[in-house]
Structure 1
Amino acid sequence: MVDVRLPDHLDERCIRHHGPDAERPTVVVHWMRAALRLDENPTFDVARTLAKSLGLPLVVYQAIDERYPHASYRHHRFLLEGAADVAHRAERLGVKHVLHVARNGHREPALLRLAESAAVVVTDLVDLEPWRTWTEAVARVRHVIEVDAHCVLPRPVFGRTADRPFRFKDATKREMKRRMGQPWPRLQVDLAQLPESWMPPFMPVDAAHELRTDGARGMLSECRIDPTVVPVQGMVGGASAGMARWKAYLDEGLSRYHRTRNNAALRQGVSGMSPWLHHGMVAATRLARDAAEHGTKGAEKFLDEMLVFREHAYHHAHDVDRPHAWDRLPDWARASWRRSALVHPARTAMELERGRSYDALW
């Protein structure tokens, strides 16, 4: 394994998978797969720290794959918008970013080929399939370091499930209180540059160009995804769009969150940040810090939802085998689900997709 000492705030987020050493490594690879941002991103900071210490250039490799559950045009478009945003930020930082989109004629094992020339592959910690299997595959080629870039309290630090959220809250409240207001340390490093002749072992995609050309419809039509699930108007992927939405909610909605969150008819009753948080386009540490500074009852309730219910789910998935399985849920949760499940008249998938359920709540 690469022997580089990391700062404590980064090291505590890491899980190391030992793989073969590279005889003549030429790069450090940041495999961006779940935290799709560069600012306040511990995965990026670990990768930069290693690249600096090893005297190697850094390559940020991002892929949009077809093999995730329920792959669709909506999801792919959101990810592609996020990739364009990352590429723009990477250019400003002077870091090489390459994007691979799996599609007809381009389903080669791009990451495995890139990993062959790497000293180490640094990636986001994901506890679900198929990402676990992909991590194991890369670790057979090269050393891999997974970094928790999603949680305020890192999973490698706590990483235990609890029968109920309030028990998770009791077990973590001291650490959460200590961490939620902490600023994220800024990392400024000058990295070695790739030679002008360097090319990735695949044809990289210019996400911004594809989006400008035809909204990426042509390229995405070559992907094995569901084309009938179309993008949602006003939902644009990327850290820039996510942070703009968050800043607006901080100013206009967070103080009322404790009163509006349970009214599903109020579109502005909640932050709507879930898509950007899910894909790590915004940092949970940033949102928690902003909410803690806000100091209102609404912010207090927002932090309760974010630091208890959201983080409990991540730590639960980290702790148990087959976290996606029904039988891994606590008995009380399964019983509650059965009691509260709504029964709707039969509707076609297209009726539901087009909002024709004739149910106001849906």
Structure 2
Amino acid sequence: VISAAGGAALVVTDVGYTRLQREWRGWLADRLDVPLVQVESEAVIPVGVVSGKQEYAARTIRPKIHRLWHDYLVPLDAHDLRKQTRDWEAGEDVSDPTRLLKTLPIDHSVPPGDEEGGENAAHDLLEDFITRKLDTYDTRRNDPTVDGSSRLSAHLHYGQISPLSAALAAREHGSPGADAFLEELIVRRELSFNLCTYNPHYDRYEGLPAWARATLAEHAGDRREYTYTRAELDAAQTHDPYWNAAQRQMTRTGRMHNYMRMYWGKKILEWTPTPQQAYTEMLWLNNRHEQDGRDPNSYASIGWVLGLHDRPWTRRPIFGTVRYMNAGGLKRKFDIDRYARQWAE
């Protein structure tokens, strides 16, 4: 990047919300001879404009976003930026991506997923979602046995599509499904940006709310009927066929249905000796396999399992007053046995 900036008047990047992204941008800014400008393109509404503090839950950030989003849900001026770019040396031969990938210091035991990445694939997914799924998104998105989600999360994570483009397309189409999609794309997603911006421990157990850590500590010594090692969890070797199916979906495709991810996390809390270890195992498994791992959404979702952005519920063993989930809830909401068959061994 530094060599490519030769002759440039400035370098523009998006805002990074996670610690690693901020470190990358800081490293780059220290080494450039020209200004580095950050543009908040991952959020529809800039985080600091919405709120100057960590928000307690979706219900506290939602009205703040709703007051602002019509000012920001506007199309950008259309420019073909490709005509304004110039060729530059990448420093690496990228003609053979598979060969280049083998040279990187990454965990090569994790296989590639079965979906295509890139800008074109992202926009094809969005078009398919808008025309075929959006009308029923509000009723079908929580059923993992049907293809009812947008599947845009990884593309958003890697900047292959703009959330503004997706939001405008959904709003133009209309329908109750569009309202539900905008809630996920803007309110819930930007709640996770708020978390990473204002909570320095967003990716650690210490970042959970005090009430959740207190109630989990009170029940940390409760008896666990089952306990599993990291290796057993990673290999989907538990007694629970529904949990195993969710884990297999993640390891085979690089994604897990969001509703199943909540159940998946709650069970890890039940099956590990301490809540601190449960958090560690969830984070390790998620970031190892999910295409959008290490994303603010990941940290918010894992934190939610242990009480983040939630409220106290009925007290139970192990969970204390943290929200509980069981297989009975899955059976009431959809055909969980069909899901288990889809991702059978």
TM-score range, shorter chain: 0.5 to 0.7
Aligned match of 2:245: 360
Q: Which has the higher contact order (CA 8 A, sep 6+)?
A: 1
Equivalent residue runs for 1:176-325 within 5 Å: 176-180=69-73, 182-187=74-79, 200=89, 203-206=91-94, 209-210=95-96, 216-233=97-114, 235-266=115-146, 268-325=147-204
Distance 1:231 1:335, change over 3 A: farther
* TM-score, normalised relative to structure 2: 0.59
Q: Where do 1:68-107 residues align within 5 Å?
A: none
Output one character per residue of 1:260-317: Cα deviation in whole Å (capped at 9) or x when no partner.
Answer: 1222232x12111111111121110011111112221111111112221111111332
Aligned length, in residue pairs: 235
Q: Give the Cα separation in 1 of the matches to 2:6 and 2:149.
A: 45
Q: Secondary structure at the match of 1:291?
A: helix
Q: Is this contact kept in 1: 2:50–2:64, CA < 8 A?
A: no
State the Cα deviation string for residues 129-159 of structure 1 (Å, max 9, x = none): 2221222222223321111111111234335
Please tell me the residue identity of whatever aligns with 2:150.
Answer: S
Unaligned runs of 5+ in 1: 1-110, 211-215
Q: Please give the residue correspondences for 1:13-28 in structure 2 after superposition, counting only pairs within 5 Å.
A: none
Tell me the amino acid that sits aligned with residue 27 of structure 2: A
Per-residue deviation at 1:360?
3.5
Residue matched to 1:120: 10
How far the C-alpha of 1:245 sits from its partner, in A, is 1.1
TM-score (norm 1): 0.56
Change (3 A) 1:159 1:318: farther
The SS at the match of 2:112 is coil
Q: Secondary structure at the match of 2:9?
A: strand
Residue 165 (structure 1) shift: 0.9
Residue type matched to 1:170 in 2?
A: P
Q: How many percent identity over aligned positions?
A: 23
Q: Measure the CA separation in 2 of the matches of 1:306 and 1:315.
A: 14
Give the CA deviation at 1:327: 2.4
Aligned CA distance change for structure 1 residues 335 and 342 (closer, same or farther; 3 Å): farther
User: How many Å separate the matches in 1 of 2:106 and 2:196?
Assistant: 26
What letter matches 1:217 in structure 2? T
Structure ranking higher in helix proportion: 2
- Kept in 2: contact 1:165–1:308 (CA 8 A): yes
Asked whether the 8 Å contact 2:61–2:187 carries over to 1, the reply is: yes
Rounded Cα–Cα distance in structure 2 between residues aligned with 1:257 and 1:190: 34
CA–CA separation in structure 2 for the residues paired with 1:225 and 1:113: 25
The 5 A counterparts of 1:27-38 are none
